[in-house]
Copies of this chain bind each other. A is one copy, B any other.
Amino acid sequence: MCSLPSGGADGTKGKHMSMRMAISAALVLALATTAVVLAASASQDGAWRIGPRTLPASVDVSDVMRESLLETPAPDVEAAKRLVLRTAEEWEAWVRPRDVATAEAARAMAEALSVRVQEDKIGGANVHRVTPPDIDDRHKNHLFVYIHGGAWVLNGGEAGTFEPVIIAARLGMPVISIDYRMPPRHPAPEALDDVVAVWTELLKERSPASMAMGGSSGGANITMASIHRFRELRLAFPGALYLGTPCVDINTIGDSRFINEGIDRSLSTWEGVPSDAGALYAGEYDHKHPHISPIYGDFAGFPPTYLISGTRDLLLSDTVRAHRRLRRAGVEADLHVYEGQSHADYVAVWNAPESAEHYAELNAFLLKHLPSPRAPTPTLPPDTTKDIEVPASAAY
């Protein structure tokens, strides 16, 4: 196999380099179809100032999605930046009414879909068992271990069951949703400790390969960090991962954090609450510790992973950074990016065809990677067999 020259120990590096630069110079001229890259305002750090623009509602989306976009005013970035929560009490006062509303939505959704949601404890941690009315035969031996999102501070208690209810119903799969401890009272590593406690217990009764793990946003962050933690603890990995628009880095890194500022209608900007919540969660940890910003961990041997983002998602770059890390580590990883979608719009606009499509794709991915249930062991009818004497030699 031939490879491109990159210079070597034979003293040709200079020659190759200058040829490469000559080619690059020709390409800058030739390949840019508009070819109007003028010497403008490149500052020393290479930051570009991008002017204002008009963004029409997305066209190539479903009617439900388009209607939802037409009804949403442009995100107010400045107002979002002004929202600063200073004390534990201020955080709790901000979180509480939001969780009450989401819990109410989750309850209504569960009722409408006949999904059963039961509080429980596993390994000392709080969980919800989320069970669809009909478990798909193909998922009979499977379990979805769900880790909720909400910027590490939102969606505690029943509020965390909204997406699990959708997953249970859409996939016909039982879900255990971990109601992990959160800041401001419980910064890292307590959320990870709860995941480890639940996982350790589940491993006692099930094969790791029969379980999927994942969630959206902050939940996908904790999912990735959990795999890093499992490696340290020599715990087996799940059979597949779900990373819905993951936050892989609490540092303000990634093109889309800048490009989609004021465009993502859910996370209008990283400044303010999302960034502050990340710091609150990190507590004493370095912000590049793999338990906090899991992109800085080792992805070798990660389970097959399904990832979803959207063209308006503030965390599009986070999602594609995770996808590339996984691919570089040789992991099977499927990336899906939806036109017109902001951060986790597949949850917020759960009634859009695109949301159904996403969960159908996720389901196909899990069915491919979790082991098929064993064919049931045939049972002989007891009435006709109970009196048959078995000679010792029959066992050979």
Chain A residues within 8 Å of B, Cβ to Cβ: 1-6, 16, 19-20, 22-24, 26-42, 45-60, 68-77, 79-80, 83, 98-99, 101-102, 104-105, 108-109, 112-115, 132-134, 136, 150-151, 154, 159, 162, 166, 169-170, 172, 217, 253-256, 258-263, 265-269, 272-274, 277, 295, 311-312, 316-317, 320-321, 323-324, 327-328, 334-340, 344, 347-351, 356-357, 361
Which residues of B are found within 8 Å of A344, using beta-carbon distances?
31
Q: Is the CB of B277 within 8 A of A33?
A: yes
Contact status A1-B134, CB under 8 Å: yes
Q: How far is the CA of A291 from the CA of B34 in the complex (A)?
A: 24
Q: Provide the residues of chain B in CB contact with A57, threshold 8 Å.
A: 45-47
Judging by beta carbons under 8 Å apart, are A55 and B48 in contact? Answer: yes
A55–B46 alpha-carbon span in the complex (Å):
9
With known contacts A50-B52, A50-B262, A259-B311, A108–B22 Cβ distance under 8 A = yes
Report if A159-B53 is in contact (Cβ < 8 Å); known contacts: A1-B136, A4-B166. no
Do the beta carbons of B38 and A255 come within 8 Å of each other? no
Kindly identify which residue among B40, B60, B170 contacts A76, using a CB–CB cutoff of 8 Å: B40
Question: Which residues of B lie under 8 Å from residue A328 when comparing CB positions?
Answer: 357
Residue of B nearest to A351 (CB): B20
When chains A and B are docked, how far (Å) is the Cα of A45 from the Cα of B166? 31
CB contacts (< 8 Å) of A31 on chain B: these are 102, 150, 162, 266, 344, 347-348
- Interchain CB contact under 8 A, B338 and A320: yes
Residues of B within 8 A of A72 (CB): 37, 42, 46
Could you say how many copies of this chain the assembly holds? Answer: 2
* A109 and B51 alpha carbons, distance in the complex (Å): 37
Does A316 lie within 8 Å of B321, measured CB to CB?
A: no
A268's closest neighbor in chain B, by CB? B34
| Contact of B4 with A60 in the complex, beta carbons under 8 Å | no
26 interchain pairs, CB-CB under 8 A: A2-B170, A4-B350, A4-B351, A5-B112, A19-B112, A24-B68, A27-B162, A28-B348, A30-B102, A31-B344, A32-B265, A32-B348, A33-B277, A36-B79, A37-B268, A40-B74, A40-B76, A47-B55, A48-B55, A48-B74, A48-B263, A49-B54, A50-B74, A51-B52, A311-B317, A335-B337
The answer on a CB contact under 8 Å between B324 and A316 is no
Closest to A350 in B: B4
B4 in contact with A169 (CB, 8 Å):
yes
Separation in Å of the A317 CB from the closest CB of chain B? 5
Residues A2 and B262 in contact, CB atoms below 8 Å apart = no
Q: A77-B51, A170-B3, A347-B31 in contact; A37/B265 too (CB < 8 A)? A: yes
Q: How distant is A102 from chain B, measured CB to nearest CB, in Å? A: 4
Q: Which residue of B lies closest to A56 (CB)?
A: B47
Minimum C-beta distance from A155 to chain B (A): 8
Which of B23, B324, B356 touches A338 (beta carbons < 8 Å)?
B324
Task: List the B residue with the shortest CB-CB distance to A105.
Answer: B26
Contacts of A361 in B (CB 8 A): 327
Q: Which of B54, B266, B336, B356 contacts A50 (CB 8 A)?
A: B54
Q: Is the CB of B73 within 8 A of A38?
A: yes
A41 cross-chain contacts in B, Cβ below 8 A: 73-74
Given known A49-B52, A151-B33, contact A340–B255 (CB-CB < 8 A): yes
Q: How far is the CA of A110 from the CA of B294 in the complex (A)?
A: 41
Chain B hits for A71, CB < 8 A: 42, 46
